[in-house]
C-alpha cells in the first residue's frame, strides 16, 4: 500500500512543494482540475514538485490519492482542526501527522489556558478550570510542531468569562438579569461586559502575552446568551453591538494576530461578518437541524461577506453512539458543507472527531472512518478552485428542476432541489470557471437530520445528465466523487434529439459535475 502525505497542510507560494511517499512508488503525478501538471520520481521517500502557482492539486501514485494546495493566505480556504490535551511530555508527532493528513491549516488550542480571565499560568504545569492537567511546555511544543506542519496554531480565549477566583475583580463590570443575579455559564463561569474598557484593556493585554506561547492568533468564544443584558447600575448592554466593537479593538491592539470569532447558532453574524476577523465562524445548534438548513446557513453567511470564508462548527453526536453511525452521518455533513463552499470544524487531535462542545471528550475514529474522512478532505482541497470560488453563486432555482428543461438529471430515485430523505439532492452553482452540479444521495435515508445516525449508502447507479444543446459543440462535462473517482474526468456524450446525454458512473454520497460550454 502506498501512502501519500504532503509535508505541509498548506504550502506558501515560492515554497518547495513536497509529498512524503510511504510504501514505495516509481512515479508520483500532480494534477490540477483533472489536468496533469507534473510527474516526478521520489527521492529518499520524497516527491518534490518545486514552487507551484496558487490553487488546489491532486496527487496520485499506483492508484492511491492525496491532495495539497498552495495559498498566500491559508485562511482563505481554512480547514480548522483542534487539539485539547496538553499533559506533560506529550509527543506532538501524532497531531502534526493528522494536520498533514487532513490538510488542517488552522488548529484551535481548546482550553490550553490557566483561567478564562487569566490566561498565562503561574507555573509550567497546572490544572485548568475544570481540573485537566496542562503543561505549558507541551502547549508550546504542539504549537511549534503545528507551525512546522504548515498550519496556524490558534489559542482559545473566551471574550467575557471570569471564574470563581477572578469574579470579585470583575463584579462591577458583570452582566446581570433583571432580578440582579449574574449571567453565568453553568456554575463556574460569570459573564463580564465585553465592552467594558477595563475588561478590554485586560483582555487585550492577556492575549498579547499569550502570543509569546507561539500562537498565530486566537479563537474568540462566546456562549450564545445573553443577547441583551444589564450592568449592575442598570445600563443595558446589547451584545450584537459589543461583540463587533471588541473584535475591532483586538484587531487594532493585536495587528499581527489572526482572529476567528464564534457566532453561536448564527448570533450575531449579521453584525460581525464584516468586522476585522479572518472568517465567518458559526457554531451550529438546533433549530438548524436539517442538511438543507446547514446549506442555507452557509449561503446566507457568504452573502453577508463574500470575500470571507465560512467555517461551521458541527459536532457529530452519532459518533458517540457508534463509529459506523457517525461515519455515515459525517459523509453527508461534509458533502453538504463542502459543496456549499464552506468547511467544518469537527476533526482534530491525532484521529479525533467532536461529538459535543467540550472538546476534551471527543470520540476516536476507526481506521475505516479516518480513511473516509481523509478522502473527503482530499476532495475538497483538490477541487478547492471550484468549491471555494468567492464568485460562486447558487443558481439552482433558475437552472434546474421544476419548469427547467435545459439541465435535467434522471435517476432511479427521486430527484429534488431540496434536501429530503429518499431523494437525490441536486444543486447548481455558477462559478468563474463554469457550472457545478452537486448530487448528494439521500435515497437510502429516512430523514435528512445532519446530527442523527445515518444508514451506510450503497453506490447509486443509473444516473444521467441531459443537457439541451446551446451551442454548436456539446458542453465539456467532467465528473468526480470523493471515493471512487477523485480526479475529474471527462464524460463522453451521446445525442438524443436536441440534447446531449452523459451517463454518470456509480457514486456514493456525493458526485460533482463540472460543465463548461465550448464557445470557440
Measured CA to CA, the distance from residue 440 to residue 356 in angstroms comes to 25
Q: How far is CA 114 from the centre of its chain?
A: 27
- For residues 7 and 47, is the Cβ–Cβ distance under 8 A? no
Q: Can the peptide bond before residue 226 be classed as cis, meaning omega within 30 degrees of 0?
A: yes
Q: Supply the pLDDT for residue 86.
A: 98
Q: Supply the pLDDT for residue 498.
A: 87
Beta strands in 267-353 (DSSP E): 280-283, 310-313, 343-345, 347-348, 352-353
Measured CA to CA, the distance from residue 294 to residue 316 in angstroms comes to 13
Q: Among 293, 360, 346, 324, which Cα is nearest to 454's? A: 324
H or E element in which residue 262 lies: strand 258-264
Per-residue pLDDT of the chain (520 residues; tens, 9 = 90+): 789 999 999 999 999 999 999 987 789 999 999 999 999 999 999 999 999 999 999 999 999 999 999 999 999 999 999 999 999 999 999 999 999 999 999 999 999 999 999 999 999 999 999 999 999 999 999 999 999 999 999 999 999 999 999 999 999 999 999 999 999 999 999 999 999 999 999 999 999 999 999 999 999 999 999 999 999 999 999 999 999 999 999 999 999 999 999 999 999 999 999 999 999 999 999 999 999 999 999 999 999 999 999 999 999 999 999 999 999 999 999 999 999 999 999 999 999 999 999 999 999 999 999 999 999 999 999 999 999 999 999 999 999 988 988 999 999 999 999 999 999 999 999 999 999 999 999 999 999 999 999 999 899 999 999 999 888 889 999 999 999 999 999 999 999 888 999 999 999 999 999 999 877 6
> Which residues are within 8 A (CB) of 366 and not within 5 positions of it... i.e. 6 or more apart?
323, 327
> Which residues are within 8 A (CB) of 215 and not within 5 positions of it... i.e. 6 or more apart?
109, 143, 153, 154, 155, 257
- For residues 5 and 101, is the Cβ–Cβ distance under 8 A? yes
Q: Would you say the C-alpha torsion 219, 222, 228, 229 has a positive or negative sign?
A: negative
All CATH 3.20.20.80 domain ranges of the chain, comma separated, are 78-387
Sequence-ordered alpha helix ranges (H) in 64-183:
93-101, 136-148, 167-170
- For residues 151 and 9, is the Cβ–Cβ distance under 8 A? yes
Q: Among 328, 299, 331, which Cα is nearest to 312's? A: 299
All three cell numbers of 268: 450575531
Q: Can the peptide bond before residue 287 be classed as cis, meaning omega within 30 degrees of 0?
A: yes
All CATH 2.60.40.1180 domain ranges of the chain, comma separated, are 393-516
> CATH homologous superfamily of domain 78-387?
Glycosidases (3.20.20.80)
Helix 367-382 to helix 323-339 angle (10° resolution) is: 10
Architecture of domain 3-70: Sandwich (2.60)
- For residues 28 and 47, is the Cβ–Cβ distance under 8 A? yes
Measured CA to CA, the distance from residue 14 to residue 5 in angstroms comes to 20
Q: Among 161, 165, 85, which Cα is nearest to 349's? A: 85
H or E element in which residue 396 lies: helix 396-399
Measured CA to CA, the distance from residue 329 to residue 325 in angstroms comes to 6
Residue with cell 485539547: 84
- For residues 323 and 365, is the Cβ–Cβ distance under 8 A? yes
Among the four given CATH numbers 2.60.40.1180, 2.40.50.100, 2.102.10.10, 3.40.50.1980, the one describing domain 393-516: 2.60.40.1180
N-to-C CA span, the chain: 44
Phi, psi of 146 (to 5 degrees): -70, -40
What angle (nearest 5°) sits at the alpha carbon of residue 476, between those of residues 472 and 480? 160
Measured CA to CA, the distance from residue 318 to residue 460 in angstroms comes to 24
All CATH 2.60.40.10 domain ranges of the chain, comma separated, are 3-70
Q: Among 50, 51, 49, which Cα is nearest to 59's? A: 49
Amino acid at each position: 500500500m502506498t501512502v501519500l502525505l504532503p509535508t505541509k497542510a498548506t504550502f506558501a507560494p515560492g515554497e518547495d512543494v513536497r509529498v512524503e511517499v510511504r510504501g514505495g512508488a516509481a512515479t508520483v503525478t500532480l494534477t490540477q482540475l483533472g489536468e496533469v501538471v507534473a510527474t516526478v520520481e521520489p527521492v529518499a521517500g520524497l516527491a518534490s514538485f518545486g514552487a507551484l502557482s496558487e490553487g488546489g492539486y491532486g496527487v496520485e501514485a499506483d492508484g492511491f490519492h492525496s491532495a495539497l494546495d498552495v495559498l498566500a493566505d491559508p485562511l482563505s480556504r481554512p480547514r480548522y482542526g483542534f487539539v485539547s490535551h496538553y499533559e506533560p511530555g506529550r509527543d506532538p508527532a501524532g497531531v502534526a501527522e493528522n494536520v498533514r493528513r487532513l490538510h488542517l491549516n488552522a488548529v484551535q488550542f481548546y482550553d490550553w489556558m490557566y483561567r478564562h480571565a487569566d490566561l498565562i499560568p503561574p507555573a509550567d504545569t497546572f490544572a485548568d478550570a475544570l481540573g485537566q492537567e496542562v503543561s505549558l511546555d507541551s502547549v508550546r511544543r504542539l504549537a511549534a510542531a503545528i507551525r512546522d506542519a504548515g498550519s496556524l496554531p490558534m489559542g482559545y480565549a473566551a471574550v467575557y468569562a471570569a471564574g470563581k477566583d477572578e469574579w470579585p475583580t470583575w463584579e462591577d463590570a458583570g452582566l446581570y438579569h433583571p432580578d440582579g443575579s449574574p449571567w453565568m455559564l453553568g456554575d463556574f463561569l460569570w459573564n463580564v461586559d465585553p465592552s467594558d474598557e477595563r475588561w478590554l484593556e485586560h483582555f487585550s493585554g492577556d492575549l498579547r502575552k499569550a502570543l509569546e506561547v507561539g500562537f498565530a492568533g486566537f479563537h474568540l468564544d462566546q456562549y450564545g446568551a445573553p443577547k441583551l443584558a444589564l450592568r449592575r447600575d442598570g445600563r443595558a448592554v446589547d451584545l450584537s453591538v459589543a461583540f463587533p466593537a471588541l473584535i475591532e479593538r483586538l484587531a487594532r491592539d493585536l495587528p499581527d494576530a489572526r482572529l476567528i470569532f464564534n457566532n453561536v447558532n448564527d448570533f450575531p453574524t449579521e453584525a460581525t461578518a464584516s468586522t476585522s476577523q479572518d472568517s465567518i465562524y458559526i457554531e451550529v445548534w438546533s433549530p438548524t437541524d436539517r442538511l438543507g438548513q446547514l446549506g442555507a446557513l452557509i449561503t446566507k453567511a457568504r452573502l453577508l461577506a463574500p470575500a470571507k470564508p465560512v467555517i461551521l462548527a458541527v459536532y457529530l453526536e452519532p459518533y458517540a453512539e457508534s463509529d459506523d453511525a457517525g461515519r455515515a452521518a459525517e459523509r453527508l455533513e461534509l458533502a453538504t458543507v463542502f459543496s456549499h463552499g464552506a468547511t467544518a470544524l469537527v476533526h482534530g487531535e491525532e484521529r479525533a472527531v467532536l461529538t459535543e462542545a467540550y472538546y476534551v471528550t471527543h470520540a476516536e475514529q476507526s481506521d475505516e472512518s479516518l480513511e473516509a474522512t481523509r478522502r473527503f478532505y482530499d476532495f475538497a482541497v483538490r477541487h478547492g478552485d471550484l468549491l471555494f470560488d468567492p464568485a460562486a453563486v447558487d443558481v439552482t432555482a433558475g437552472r434546474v428542476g421544476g419548469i427547467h428543461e435545459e439541465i435535467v438529471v434522471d435517476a432511479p430515485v427521486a430527484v429534488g432541489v431540496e434536501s429530503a430523505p429518499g431523494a437525490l439532492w441536486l444543486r447548481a452553482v455558477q462559478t468563474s470557471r463554469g457550472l457545478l452540479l452537486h448530487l448528494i444521495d439521500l435515497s437510502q435515508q429516512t430523514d435528512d437530520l445532519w446530527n442523527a445516525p445515518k444508514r451506510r449508502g450503497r453506490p447509486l447507479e443509473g444516473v444521467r445528465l441531459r443537457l439541451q444543446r446551446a451551442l454548436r459543440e456539446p458542453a465539456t462535462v467532467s465528473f468526480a466523487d470523493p471515493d471512487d473517482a477523485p480526479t475529474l474526468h471527462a464524460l463522453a456524450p451521446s445525442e438524443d434529439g436536441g440534447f446531449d446525454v452523459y451517463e454518470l458512473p456509480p457514486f456514493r454520497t456525493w458526485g460533482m459535475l463540472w460543465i463548461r460550454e465550448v464557445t470557440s
